[in-house]
Amino acid sequence: MSRQPIRIGARGSKLSLAQSGLMQARIAAALGADPGDDLDAFARLIPIVTSGDRIQDRRLMEIGGKGLFTKEIEEALLDGRIDCAIHSLKDMPAELPPGLVLAATPEREDPRDAFISPVAERLEDLPKGARLGTASLRRQAQALHVRPDLEIVMLRGNVDTRLAKLERGEADAILLAQSGLNRLGLGHLTRSWLDPLAAPPAPGQGALVIETRAEDIDLPWLQAVRCQATTLAVAAERGALYALEGSCRTAVGAHARLDGLDLTMIVEALTPDGAQRFRREGAITLSSSDAADEARALGLELGGAVRAEGGSALILTD
């Protein structure tokens, strides 16, 4: 090859590298790689340790929010040290640094939250006062809305770390993204799933995204890996995230489904203790020309309505 390989920045965690490896193969194929070719000749992974990976003993909201999983990677992208970055879309803040864009989203994996426990088949079946491990304010609030008797145990770290803490008895159950378990070959550990309509997942959950500099958004290899249906669904969900100023201090869930050009969506936000829940549902038939803008507008509308109703009660203040 006469051209230099695409340099892919990604977090150094086991899950991130597994996800980025999947995208490395997709990108290499889009650049002309044949089965059996050396992927590194077409696209090369560059692991980058982020602040969010280094600090594991506190909630994200205490140390700076979701941006701590992307800050160092985005700096490398803006500096030209990498050509693109692979992220879990649910980890992306509602707003990006100037000059960067979410350029391509491939087909989405399972968006649901997985329930894993040695003592119960479902969240509803946990013993009274059981300990549920999670560092997600959304998962905490949704669980407490159904089971206000549960004790929430702050549980951060990579998937293996959380599973090990569960095995050691530090919690009676944990909630994880099914998509991440599937990509690690651990999908069999799931006992049950949260209903994505009753408890909508994080906006963008299950989807990977390629972040690039704005001037690169129309490169042919990016166009080749895009999934239109996923792109439209997550455009709606991130519209809701933006309207609700979604962060680690707000418990926001959104789930959009596309059937042809018919987009249906549910958005909810809860008070941190789960006592109050505010929900909106909506549907729209998309046009073929402005579909992404229309999908985002639906999310903005529903998210705005939830925010107007919930107000300041939705924001964790301590």
Our answer to whether residue 91 is catalytic in this structure is yes
Q: Are 191 and 120 in contact (CB under 8 A)?
A: yes
- Return the residue matching tokens 């145990």: 153
Dihedrals φ, ψ of 63, to 5°?
A: -125, 5
The active-site residue, picked from 91, 110, 113, 172, is 91
Closest among 10, 5, 37 to 221, alpha carbons compared: 5
Beta-strand relationship, 208-213 and 84-88: antiparallel
* Residue 108, SS3 per DSSP: coil
- Return the residue matching tokens 């963008």: 204
For residue 37, give Cα distances in angstroms to 18, 32, 40, 163.
Answer: 19, 10, 9, 35
Residues 6+ apart with CB under 8 A from 228: none
H helices within 169-227, ranges in order?
Answer: 178-183, 220-225
Task: Tell me the residue length of the chain.
Answer: 318
What are the beta bridge partners of residue 213?
Answer: 100
Q: Catalytic site residues? A: 91
